[in-house]
Amino acid sequence: MTHPLALLRPGWLLWLLASTSLPLAAQTVVCHVNYGGEDRAVIASPVDSPYGVKGVEVGSYFIFRVVNQTRPPDLASVKVYTYTNHDDAPALIHQATYSPAQVAQRLAKGAAHGFTGLHHVYEPVRDGEMQYWCEKHAASPQGQP
């Protein structure tokens, strides 16, 4: 006898897994940032609106912002923004967006460097370089909110 899930196309199953409502703790995103040889973790808890999410200063050249929007379902995504910290105002130099289906697909492959892969972001004026990659955590890492 054929299992009922075997009748579904693989893409449908990934969509089903990605769109399932998970507990909020299961949707915490942790981004691993390296700048100037120093590593740090940036935690992105689930939010309903991106407008209250603040960026985190990384060194004196970058501002790193991660929006882990889980509701409403049609707007659910993980968005990563990197700004250069100019004297007059921050300027966006890098943006990446990952839908729940893209996150699930990349995690299912078990690739190194989480669902984003390893990114290298360069500050164009001061010649700085920052690296990051992001993953999902079942719960907040110990000692983190």
Residues 6 or more apart whose Cβ sits within 8 Å of residue 42: 30, 31, 33, 56, 64, 66, 132
Binning pLDDT at 50, 70 and 90, where does residue 24 land?
very low
* pLDDT tens profile 32-75: 999 999 999 999 999 999 999 999 999 989 999 999 999 999 99
DSSP H or E stretch at residue 107: helix 100-108
Structure pTM?
A: 0.77
Mean pLDDT of the chain: 82
CA of 55: how far to CAs of 85, 92, 98, 116, in Å? 11, 12, 18, 18
Check: CB of residue 17 under 8 Å from CB of residue 58.
no
pLDDT of residue 13: 37
